[in-house]
Structure 1
């Protein structure tokens, strides 16, 4: 385990886990937790850490707080994009400030999977005019800016930094969405009306079909958060087993723990190409999603009626499993998830 990961896990266990219920619904508390990651310079691990450390971190943070995991992931994604940008002036402006959170940036480009894209850009003198509605931007009132993706007439996509704030006649934001989970992350819709994106704020361009190809190649990326969510469910289940001292609860924990351990090893091996005989990554992704749901559901069942309370950790893990079921979802991931669900139903 790297020093960075040791520091991160200690912070998550000592400062984040005890406040997980509060972080899920309280924006101010979530902001404090995010600032704590910045104080430890952990907000750009997607750039500064090796790949293995970053994936272990993504798994760990999802275990202790889905809201914090989801929020910081947006910033980590923006950091990775800025680090790969050919715009050196933009890099000089942002990169020194991303790890400590003195500059916080979100992202909004998943809509590029839609055809036609709801956000489009046309070249103009000195930059681009961006029009359309970005359906999902997480981090309003946390992030001052976000990287928007817009489709160009030639089929490419342009990505650039724009304000995550209301600007009369140019940028309009919806009220924060009332999501099933992680409402404190302040996810909004952003409407851009002929917003001028100057060349100096352009992060990069991508060719036609880039996002689909990126999603296929990196289908396992979202599996790590699902694994962390599954472990969160098992944490609750184990605590119940110790309190109730009922053999069947401990047996359920042991069985699910074995399944999760096997799946986790397979996913890490496949991601890092350690196993040439690894199963189809889509199957592994669907397995991680299924385990997140099943482990959280087992925690609910074992917790009894108390799990109905809004701040119960079992219910929170179950709601977070819903989010990870559809995060970064493509038609292929949807099909694999449904096939896995049908298979389980048939076996039952």
Structure 2
């Protein structure tokens, strides 16, 4: 079976063409509606990475990437809300703690949507969220700078660092509650529709039975560090959507380059040792960004003055592309990208 013929890819395409893409400009201005999330839940795509025994699909990586490209290219805001869900699913799938039996099935079957609040761990040794022990549970205090999907998610996977420099991940309900207060929704240059807030934590209590992971920080970081080195499928999805707005005589060359970079990037993503070839992964990530920016710029140029309207597709895709430049960014990936820009356009590129 080809990737394009896989049932989950077909469902993603149907969802994109029938619902997400036609409404994308309106969603960009008004916010991701609950009806979009219900459609994603019904599609089965929330169980892409989940074990079959729990109602998921355990789909191969190529299928996971293809569905991400399709959804991101159709409506990046909806894609971004639902993509948060897959980290909690994978965390539970690898957990041996009781919360796995309580939540993995509902998350895998799309009965619940989870958000995630853990990117602040990458600022270590600065610790925005501290966790301390109390009888029968844990207390979280600090500030989560970014949390996406507020008002759409059912639960959230929250992370912090203990006094012993352990990382602790635990689930709680995604609602205002004692010890958890959200900010007003952030107004962003792109993806305001994804309902991103910050979370103020003041001794939020989470019981022991909600803990999904507890491990030394360095052990967790060793598995997390390689992930932001790879090119995101969303980058290719946005680029393809933008090139669809450009006459083929101009789009063909960019599309060919994009396919070549995608092939190399995905081959490395499938490499059995994720921490190897770090420099090459980061270089391909930067090249993918360069091509995405070229594609979205071409779409704006092709759209002319109309592309400056907030309801024009090219303008939306260009802003979403800007968002992807910093989404999932680490100090390592930022440095590699800046160096690549200097080499291409600075003194080294003349």
TM-score by shorter chain over 0.5? yes
Superposition CA RMSD, Å: 2.2
Q: How many residues align?
A: 334
1:322-341 paired onto structure 2 within 5 Å: 322-341=322-341
Closer/same/farther in 2, CA of residues 63 and 154 from structure 1, 3 Å limit: same
Query: Cα–Cα, structure 1 residues 130 and 216, in superposed 2: closer, same or farther, change >3 Å?
Result: closer
Tell whether 2:35 aligns with 1:32: yes
Q: Report how far residue 25 of structure 1 moved.
A: 2.7
Q: Is it true that 1:207 corresponds to 2:216 in the alignment?
A: yes
The counterpart of 2:197, out of the listed 188, 204, 213, is 188
Measure the CA separation in 1 of the matches of 2:10 and 2:26: 24
Counterpart check, 1:261 vs 2:265: no
TM-aligned CA deviation for residue 279 of structure 1: 7.3
Partner Cα separation in structure 2 for residue 284 and residue 294 of structure 1: 15
CA distance, structure 2, for counterparts of residue 62 and residue 174 of structure 1: 26
Say whether residues 1:16 and 2:20 are aligned partners: yes
Kept in 2: contact 1:38–1:99 (CA 8 A): no
Matches of 2:60 and 2:344, distance apart in 1: 36
Alignment-derived partner of residue 244 in structure 1: none
Give the whole-Å Cα distance in 2 for the aligned partners of 1:176 and 1:231: 30
Work out the CA distance in 1 between the residues paired with 2:30 and 2:102.
Answer: 31
Match of 1:150 in 2: 160
Matched, 1:57 2:67: yes
Could you give the per-residue CA deviations for residues 252-278 of structure 1, whole angstroms, max 9, x where no partner exists? 31221111111111111111239x999
The residue aligned with 2:54 is none
| Structure 1 match to 2:234 | 225
Partner of 1:81: 91
SS at the partner of 2:217?
A: coil
Structure 1: gaps (5+ residues): 242-249
Unpaired runs of 5+ residues, structure 2, are 51-56
List structure 1 runs of 4+ shifted beyond 6 angstroms.
276-279
Indicate the residue corresponding to 2:129 in structure 1.
Answer: 119
Task: Please give the alpha-carbon distance, in whole angstroms, between the structure 1 residues aligned to 2:245 and 2:215.
Answer: 43
Tell me the distance in 1 between the aligned counterparts of 2:277 and 2:240. 25
Q: How far does residue 145 in structure 1 lie from its aligned partner after superposition?
A: 2.0
Q: 1:246 matched to which residue of 2?
A: none
TM-score with structure 1 setting the length? 0.90
Q: TM (normalized to structure 2)? A: 0.89
2:184 pairs, out of 175, 199, 204, with: 175
C-alpha separation in 2, matches of 1:281 and 1:342: 18
